[in-house]
Amino acid sequence: MARTMKASARRQARRALDLKFSKSREALQSLTAVPHAGWVRAIRDALGMSAADLAARMNVVESTVLRLEAAERTGRVQLDSLRRAANALDCDLVYGLVPRRELDTQVTQQARRRAEQALGRVRHTMLLEDQTAPTDLTDELLQEQILFWLDRPGLWHVN
């Protein structure tokens, strides 16, 4: 019973997130197009603020700002450093993960992969014994296996 409730809660959480993301996916994805020099440098330049000015606002030395901007360009910046820079630039730091596909779709596709793996082993054994199952039975078994794997612990376990 508790396991079913957990699975149901996971499905509801996925659907709620999918709904939230579907409304703003394009806007969120456009934010991932980071300017060549990085957000900190782009905003600092747009404000006409020097690295020394930003450093003073952050209570750090200028070289710290330059290292922060370099770290952002290479994708190695720390969130707490970005947050401090954002505050000093009078900006909000927006952090998020945007699923490329609906979460329900990802779970269903993974359940299908797991089901196909399981049935692949059965098919192989049957072929070795010179047996084959009718297509409609195979399709039915595949659907049963997909339902078996949905919301099951181990769905994402790498074999």
Q: Is 80 exceeded by the pLDDT of residue 14?
A: yes
**CATH 1.10.260 domain span(s) along the chain:** 33-88
Average pLDDT of the chain? 86
Where residue 84 falls (left for φ over 0; alpha for ψ -120 to 50; beta otherwise) is alpha
Where residue 81 falls (left for φ over 0; alpha for ψ -120 to 50; beta otherwise) is alpha
- For 22, residues 6+ apart whose C-beta sits below 8 A from its C-beta are 102
Radius of gyration of the chain (CA): 25
Q: Alpha-carbon distance 128 to 13, whole Å? A: 43
For domain 33-88, the question of CATH label 1.10.10 is answered with no
Q: What is the DSSP-derived secondary structure letter of residue 60?
A: S
pLDDT digits (tens, 9 = 90+) for 79-121: 999 999 999 999 999 888 878 889 999 999 999 999 988 887 6
Give residue 126's pLDDT. 56
- Helix 51-58 / helix 79-88 crossing angle, nearest 10 deg: 100
Q: Is 31 in a helix, a strand, or coil?
A: coil
Q: Is 90 exceeded by the pLDDT of residue 136?
A: no
Give residue 113's pLDDT. 92
Q: Alpha-carbon distance 85 to 106, whole Å? A: 35
